[in-house]
Amino acid sequence: MKKLRILLVGIIKENPVLVLILGTCPTLAISTQASNAIGMGLAATAVLVCSNIAISALRKVIPDNVRIPCYIVLIAGFVTLVEMVVKAYAPALDKSLGIYLPLIVVNCIILGRAEMFANKNTVVDSALDGIGMGLGFTLALFVMAAIREILGNGTFYGMEIPFLINHNISIMTLAPGGFFVYGCMIAAINKLSKGKAIKKTEFGCMGCPSAAACGKLSETKCGKESEA
Amino acid sequence: MEGIIHLDFKGIIILLMSAVFVNNYVLQKFLGICSFLGVSKKLDQATGMSLAVIFVMMLSTAVTWPIQYYLLNPHGLGYLQTIVFILVIAALVQLVEIVLKKYIPALHSAMGIYLPLITTNCAVLAVTILNVDKQYDFLASMVNALGSGLGYFLAMVMFSGVRSRMESEETPKAFEGLPILLVAASIVSVSFFGFAGVIENLFG
């Protein structure tokens, strides 16, 4: 039962995008089309699962002082692998993801989960956490991309929607629409959970992997949150 | 060194201007959103962070461009780009921090706290990779890095102004905190659309 909980917690209760507010950059940039969102989500999930497994397997080998550089090397290695696979087998996806594919390296979700979960838990638990978080990321990305694609393009997954195709709001697929839809989705989660889901009212850097290292900023809010 | 695009003076100016205004890293390309939302609360913090970002962007471009063209490409190691670049940036940031701490403590106390945050700032890695992707020569890469940094600076300073106004206003309960920030960012982002035609027509 505990294993199932680890898997499910990432999908809904601690959704990395909507509740933990991690990995905002790819979320906003890629969510213009549902198909891109699925591709990005799966690529990030693959990296997340691999890096979580590797990091939790090596958690007793890696010295604590140099753990962040070690994690970055591991993650960058997996990202390069995924990049090569996508380039070879899905060139169209590679083209539409563009710069955001190599940028999975600096996606806070991956380093964040390494720091928050994988270096404290067993390999199996970390793998499940990676799958859960990855699916949560994919799901949030997909919902957001669907909203933006339906309203902005009048299509869903490339299929035309009868009425909306002639009445599209094209700003939804542009940058401002991304910010707006994301803001509204977090507000909706806030409303539905009556503020329970997002306890922190300010944008916390709890998930930020460098929170411990960032001196003055951690003295105020982040320091307390990352300890808790 | 094949396939590198050389730009004339006019091209450089257009590149700089469009990097700042049209292809703004934060508001149009969604890079560096975490720090944009996290550190833009006060004007002095926003300025310190942006200056650190400009500095690190230019420094890492100056280092990664030669690595790509003189070390990786001649040996057929182009696929190692992501790993090498992120490590170089991480090492550079550490180095800069140590040097600043030792020799210029005043600057370190002003800028130093933002440096560790920058390693995982996607804007820095993105600018180095994009410079190689777009095949800019060294000068154009540096100009692009400067422009991207200045664009980040502009977005941060503008947004910290917007935030200081917002703080005294009451927002609906569900929108408190992050959601209203994102909605505000969306409106600031709309304002940048106005620049698109201006830059093209001014120099085109």
pLDDT, residue A226, reads 35
User: Given CB atoms, is B38 within the 8 Å cutoff of chain A?
Assistant: yes
pLDDT, residue A212, reads 47
Q: What HEC string does chain A produce?
A: CHHHHHHHHHHCCCCCCCCCCCCHHHHHHHCCCHHHHHHHHHHHHHHHHHHHHHHHHCCCCCCHHHHHHHHHHHHHHHHHHHHHHHHHHCHHHHHHHHHHCHHHHHCHHHHHHHHHHHCCCCHHHHHHHHHHHHHHHHHHHHHHHHHHHHHHHCEECCEECCCHHHCCCHHHHCHHHHHHHHHHHHHHHHHHCCCCCCCCCCCCCCCCCCHHHCHHHHHHHHHHHHHC
CA distance A175 to A50: 31
Under an 8 A CB cutoff, do A187 and B175 touch? Answer: yes
Output the pTM of the full model: 0.85
Q: Is the pLDDT of residue B128 over 60?
A: yes
Our CA-based measurement puts residue A19 at a distance from the nearest CA of chain B, in whole angstroms, of 11
* Mean residue pLDDT across chain B: 86
Our CA-based measurement puts residue B158 at a distance from the nearest CA of chain A, in whole angstroms, of 16
* Nearest Cβ partner for A72 among B90, B129, B183: B90
Each of the 228 residues of chain A gets a pLDDT tens digit; together they read: 788 888 888 888 888 888 878 888 888 888 888 888 999 999 999 999 999 999 999 988 988 888 888 888 899 999 999 999 999 999 998 988 888 888 888 888 888 888 888 888 899 999 999 999 999 999 999 999 999 998 888 888 878 888 877 888 888 888 899 999 999 998 888 888 876 655 543 444 544 544 544 443 444 444 333 332
Q: Which residue of A has its CA nearest to B37?
A: A203
CA distance B45 to B28: 22
Chain A positions in Cβ-Cβ contact with residue B83 (cut-off 8 Å): 73, 76-77, 80
* Nearest Cβ partner for B186 among A79, A108, A179: A179
Least confident of A202-216, B43-57, B94-108: A202-216
- Between positions 175 and 194 of B, the ones with CB within 8 A of A are 175-183, 185-187, 189-190, 192-193
CB B152 within 8 A of CB B56: no
Question: How many pairs of residues across A and B have Cβ atoms under 8 Å apart?
Answer: 151
Count of beta carbons in the 10 Å neighbourhood of residue B62: 15
Count of beta carbons in the 10 Å neighbourhood of residue B111: 21
- Between positions 124 and 163 of A, the ones with CB within 8 A of B are none
Q: Which residue has the higher pLDDT, B12 or A166?
A: B12
pLDDT, residue A17, reads 85
Q: Is the pLDDT of residue B141 over 90?
A: yes
Query: If you ran DSSP here, which 8-state letter would residue B3 be given?
Result: T
Chain B positions in Cβ-Cβ contact with residue A219 (cut-off 8 Å): none
